[in-house]
Structure 1
């Protein structure tokens, strides 16, 4: 084990005891200390699920990337495992960037982007992103002596030698595959597909897909998997221009449903769709569970809107893992069913009729900052309705549905921010027989919305003081609410 890795492990072990546990989220994964971003290595290993993540333990902003590590048996309770990788070799001294993992012959194989940056005599920097392998036992991982195992010279001529990152490894029968993001000669994104018999010696197979300048530039953090008779490609484009109410944030996560020509290594995709419409969602990664479910987790933070309070010694969290299904070509997302095992203190309010004259109405037992709440709202006689969350008179975050426009909006303008940040996001939502179903997960600072049984998702941060735990409902016209709320206790 290297000095750098020892240092990181000792630091996180000591600092995690100094951070108040009540400051952390309850059922969202957070770091022991420091900064985290992209989920990495989401995989099943020896009967447990491991999640690594981009990690800088020594501060609350991005720094030389390590791999932090936690594991779980049910996607809700997470156990800290010591830091897995540190930038401690010549080829990855500037960072162990994003990657993935797979189990093979009792070992856990990590594949990651290794970053090299050297100052040249002429004052310029020589930067290279290559792909490396580390193999371990679920706790300790050893980098291969032959690293890096894939260099940019394996790409088609003209491809970028700098932007080549985020390998997604998987195994089919006797062959390993990896799809890796890079840039074509014209500066647009492409996904290179590689194969290997042993996860050490790799051969370029094809360009799985290329964006041709459409949907941003570099396609970061690709994930590619079969689902319900089709193949799904998830990518997180950089520098993407908004179109209507879709593809905001500049750094987005989108998905395509299509078919995979395995012989030629080509993906034939359909139309791009937004994966999440919120203000804080990026770089998702999936795993196949032992019972055959496809489960996804994403980084619950934005590159361009840094909201972490100054007094915090940690920054970043992961979404609740979500089960994925396909329905009519659309990706359906819902919180993993294991969350239901932690529901307590059910409060049900049925046939609650609200009109504009009621103003903001609170209901007995409906409050809190750590909860799972489902609303069925009949809007046939309403013009709009609003759910007021994390409220105490000074602070509030609202979720509003405009019946005439058919739009749902999250607005955190008054959640307590003291900087000029993006504070609202809107998406189109269809009514179902005059009704809207809205599932609200609130975990202190995390707000995840799932609309109409997972047809759409909207994820955002709100760093509101925890004392603001009121919830109220209002409408224009007349709306009828059925509400079921649970506390989540882990």
Structure 2
């Protein structure tokens, strides 16, 4: 274990225990301490749901991206696990950015993430360079691959930026290969989604440009996810700098769902329907998993980059995840409902009817607690 990772684990263990349980939401995931953004590595592994997240344990503001980690049996009650990744290698010393997780054939869990370094230009300025790296572990401790990064600028299609090349989402294909989609910025300055393939999860090759924005929906497309659902192929992504279209896309940094057919020859998505995913102001960087019972379940960062200044900053932690949602496709639309595990929380019903509320001091027997539905 590197000194940087050990430091993060010690710090969060001490500081996280100072935050009382009642100072956190009952069901929404919060960082153990410090800052949280994008969900990462949402997966089912060794009988538990795992969720990693973009994490800065040392401050309630974005900086020095680590991977935080929580696990759950029911997607509602989460336990903290020590920090999974720290930016402790030359290729990721400016951050372990967003990514995903999958189980390998040998039973280990593979994490795939965006590793960020910087380069100095001729005029003396510096810029980020984004590559993709992997780490393997047992659900608690992870070791970075000694041949990282596994995808670099040489693996990009012509015109694609090595500055905006991030957020790999990995899955296992029906052909036995691993695949991942990655957000990219092409020469036109907008966004596109790249598709890559691997036989083992460590050695990758470019397959195609799966989908192109062509300056229709915002600019850079971040945090893509791609899966088959109810006979259709679904692409989820979070575009930056979106402009409203009627009732859609009012959040600036928003959400986009494209539903269509996959061309097996060209490996491109043929769009049929497009929609926003959430109409509130706090929903970004969605990620899904395929549950053991076949459900496609989605979670997201319950925050928006445009509203970060509006907050109370005395809690020791900042930001939280949405409640997970079950997805389906009907009549060309993405449908979302709360996970059915919530039903188990409803018991011992107490009901009052025709009660007149005259002031704020009304007390009703057995109506108490800190949660409400």
- For the aligned pair, the TM-score class normalised by the smaller chain equals over 0.9
State the distance in 1 between where 2:142 and 2:282 align.
31
Structure 1 residues 335 and 56: alpha-carbon distance in aligned structure 2, compared to 1, 3 A threshold = same
Aligned to 2:284: 282
- 1:42 paired with 2:42, answer yes
Aligned ranges for residues 57-456 of structure 1 at < 5 Å?
Answer: 57-105=57-105, 106-119=107-120, 122-172=123-173, 173-306=175-308, 307-348=310-351, 370-372=371-373
State the distance in 1 between where 2:363 and 2:75 align.
31
Structure 1 residues 120 and 344: alpha-carbon distance in aligned structure 2, compared to 1, 3 A threshold = same
Tell me if structure 2 keeps the 8 A contact 1:177–1:196.
Answer: yes
SS at match of 1:290: coil
| Aligned-residue offset at 1:121 | 6.9
SS at match of 1:14: helix
SS at match of 1:7: helix
| Aligned-residue offset at 1:348 | 4.1
State the distance in 1 between where 2:368 and 2:256 align.
33
Tell me if structure 1 keeps the 8 A contact 2:119–2:129.
Answer: no
Consecutive unaligned residues of structure 2, counting only runs of 5 or more, are: none
SS at match of 2:91: coil
Tell me if structure 1 keeps the 8 A contact 2:66–2:97.
Answer: yes
State the distance in 1 between where 2:91 and 2:264 align.
32
Tell me if structure 2 keeps the 8 A contact 1:153–1:161.
Answer: no
Q: Which has the larger radius of gyration?
A: 1
SS at match of 1:179: strand
Tell me if structure 1 keeps the 8 A contact 2:27–2:323.
Answer: yes
State the distance in 2 between where 1:314 and 1:70 align.
15
State the distance in 2 between where 1:62 and 1:318 align.
16
Moved more, 126-135 or 207-216: 126-135
| Aligned-residue offset at 1:371 | 1.8
Consecutive unaligned residues of structure 1, counting only runs of 5 or more, are: 373-490
Aligned to 1:458: none
State the distance in 1 between where 2:157 and 2:131 align.
15
State the distance in 2 between where 1:235 and 1:211 align.
11
State the distance in 2 between where 1:346 and 1:328 align.
36
| Aligned-residue offset at 1:161 | 1.5
Scaled by the length of structure 1, what TM-score is found?
Answer: 0.72
Aligned to 1:10: 10
SS at match of 1:145: coil
| Aligned-residue offset at 1:191 | 0.6
Tell me if structure 1 keeps the 8 A contact 2:19–2:316.
Answer: yes
What RMSD over aligned residues (CA atoms) do the two structures have, in Å?
2.1
| Aligned-residue offset at 1:338 | 0.9
State the distance in 2 between where 1:175 and 1:263 align.
16
| Aligned-residue offset at 1:353 | 12
Q: Deviations over 1:325-378 (max 9, x none)?
A: 12222211111111111224424467x799xxx9x9x99677875122xxxxxx
State the distance in 2 between where 1:329 and 1:126 align.
41
Q: Give the count of matched residue pairs.
A: 367
State the distance in 1 between where 2:201 and 2:211 align.
22
